[in-house]
Chains A and B, each alone.
Chain A
């Protein structure tokens, strides 16, 4: 299990101890920074959170908090992990060696790559501190690094050392679905280190962000390409998110498969098995194509390309691009080689598979029934196991269900009332239709249910279930008031 390291600490350490304790008077000074100077730019972040409760979405939820690390990367710009400041109600930044709490707020937050940029209300206390420089590239395997931060075990800055153990493409625990480049180090990285810099010399080679619960001496950091991409993405004032190729591939090792596709035995390329409807490749690639090259990089039969002598997944090309950028694909269809450029776009529909933060859950409460749109949080909280629901969830993007249905509305709970006492077998299922109108979003569902002219019976049908839920429309209001009062629901809907 990968877990996020939520305590974080902010210390910038210069490399080795300096002989000359030159006090930097401005960030522009080119002389090497002392460890003390570097550490002074690593700050402790204290975040108070409010996490909404999906089981009573009308309520305030659970209040909590955590500690993380951040570091100064520019004038009033503190870089940290998104998970350090997710669901934040109040963010406080502590400068090293000072007990003054500086109120801070989020400038940009990128849940898909677990990075965030903060600013303090009043930067004057931080004036003169060096801005830590982001290195140019991924550190070399086995090269030495140190992690600086405010992890568990004490209140003051901690520095740990290690080497780069592995460079890999792995899931980011914060959102659960996004995969990017990660660098594994054997320096101790513990809860609280999150958001802190991992340094080589005076340069930042990564942001510490997650560990592994089943292994020792493994810490993970977000490497330079991901940090740089984030910084570049927000340059224009908004974070546009990662873009996605929108195509799945199958390795093309089998000689008979190659033969059948008209390829020589030693041909490179992968077999395209699925193209996401309305994704970047929709209309360009199709199932059965063999993808040979991406932006001129030859794709091997497993889906890897060579970048600077390293074997990386072909997605790495897309990883470094932005919304609106183009990628050139070379592929074979019906034995003919083709070349076509696609324009990359972020793919909102696939966020249904990601953990969502900072957003008050949407819901609709009516007459003892609680309806909520299906997403990762809902699946997890309610442990939805109905195969029909899981099928819809799994195929939501792949089969283009999102085109017709903005939301999959799930009946998540039936609260006890005289009207609902004989109803069972409906919870945890997706609403298919109400009075024969197909339900495509929570908003539309709400409109139908709240209409003044409901027929005598309101008939709700569910996916995968033959028996409909039938309600006497005239009784809805009474039940709504009874149950709402009992549960203390003041706001019956958040659409």
Chain B
């Protein structure tokens, strides 16, 4: 079980004393740490116009040399109010997100300087990014006491790995720290220092194993470099899915040599870098940029030993750069160069974006974009409990790409006199409305603008396959819904 909550409160006086001594001496300015208080509200899965009850999250951020504050994306995602607070808790200022990357679990925030030009963070000592660390290096995990004094926990880097610390499932260069941390109240996202420099951001702590996961400084560095010009591209992606190839008969069939390793390509995402470079399902990627991959998909890193091949792309490249691939295709070796892109949007995104889930209401019939979050609402066993047609789309999106850009789902029918008989129609994909093909939520608007003879005709993927609504009555029902407190009848954005 992962633990994201780390304590802020001081418990051990001894710690406090030793830290005082350590922290007080060399610095003239206070350390570049701020508290971040976020009020977060997600969205109701069933009623996407509603937000979930607000929760607050407190964590830390580090002031960087560019005057902005780095923290985890988890800390600020879906925030409705964000503020920074001085370490001693005396000064507070509103803040805003500059860039957020949920896959890397990083966010850059800045004080909102509309009203006052100055911020208390200008007085702080910015923290420089550290060089990459090797296993065995001593590091300090920083927490703040309520009086502003730091609590520092000394641990060592146990190992480095390519880990997906949060959400997106994409691996980034991370440290695993071994050692116990105080873990009680509200504190997300702790800075980890090595020799006074920022080695990374601690994003999770497992109290059973006493292992912390830390997004390394190199990932932060790439994130900052990307965000610098004000246009954030995101981390690059090749856009393939693959499996390791240990089975001997399979290797022989692929005509792989004894010394060859490689990754067997099982998926090539539409409009991805790999697709555009001509990589095909069934290819075996033997090497990337000259680094050969072993049978499990690891390459030999000069400094860190075995690391996942994905690091050669996501950890070492930028969007727009190219990577050279050595590929085995039906027994022949090919050299392929791929220009890296941001990962193409998933047909079923993990989450809705900051704007909230896309939805559309007509006559009390609720349409939404299908997200993984929606599937996950089916509980812990969602992967087997969610409706089969939705799971099929989730697992085999390539079979649906031709028909849709977003999965538009009829998720609910609010009972009214015009939806009589449709109460059980749920979780059907919407294919067509009044003759307009529905490829994305926004198409609904166009479709519903043209009822025929006063009737909306909605074609669905499941029985009864077509439902009809009285167009004029729809307007009345929707008007009534607005009067009853529905804030809006749609949320559509590009």
Contacts and interface: CB of A to CB of B under 8 A. Distances in A.
A268 B141 CA distance: 73
B72 to A, nearest CB: 33
Interface stretch (A53-61, A117-125, A350-358, A386-394): A386-394
Given A250-B463, A253-B421, A385-B384, A422 B247 contact: yes
Interface stretch (A105-113, A183-191, A331-339, A465-473): A465-473
A259 interface: yes
B365 to A, nearest CB: 12
A271 interface: yes
A248 interface: yes
Given A273-B463, A422-B248, A457-B249, A251 B421 contact: yes
A458 B71 CA distance: 53
B19 interface: no
Interface string B362-396: 00000000000000000000001000100110011
B465 A254 contact: no
B394 to A, nearest CB: 8
Contacts of A425: 243
A467 B421 contact: no
B249 A387 contact: no
Nearest to A458: B249
Contacts of A394: 388
B324 to A, nearest CB: 24
Contacts of B391: 387
A288 interface: yes
Interface residues on A, range: 35 or more
Interface string A237-271: 00000000000101111111101100000000001
Given A251-B421, A273-B464, A387-B392, A470 B253 contact: yes
Contacts of B266: 466-467
B447 to A, nearest CB: 16
Interface stretch (B94-102, B128-136, B307-315, B467-475): B467-475
Chain B binding surface SS class? mixed
A282 interface: no
A255 B464 contact: no
Contacts of B388: 387, 390-391, 394
A287 interface: yes
Given A254-B421, A256-B418, A470 B465 contact: no
A423 interface: yes
Contacts of B468: 254, 256-257, 259-260
Contacts of B267: 466
Contact of B395 (A255, A464, A471): A464
Contact of B246 (A250, A422, A475): A422
A391 B418 contact: no
A316 interface: no
The list of the 9 closest CB pairs from A to B, nearest first, reads: A253-B421, A250-B464, A466-B266, A273-B463, A254-B421, A260-B468, A422-B247, A470-B253, A387-B391
Given A287-B465, A472-B248, A472-B249, 10 more contacts: A248-B463, A254-B420, A254-B468, A273-B465, A288-B466, A301-B421, A391-B392, A464-B395, A467-B264, A475-B249
7 contacts: A254-B421, A256-B469, A257-B421, A257-B468, A387-B384, A391-B392, A467-B243
Interface of B: 243, 246-250, 252-253, 264, 266-267, 281-282, 384, 388, 391-392, 395-396, 418-422, 455-457, 463-470, 473
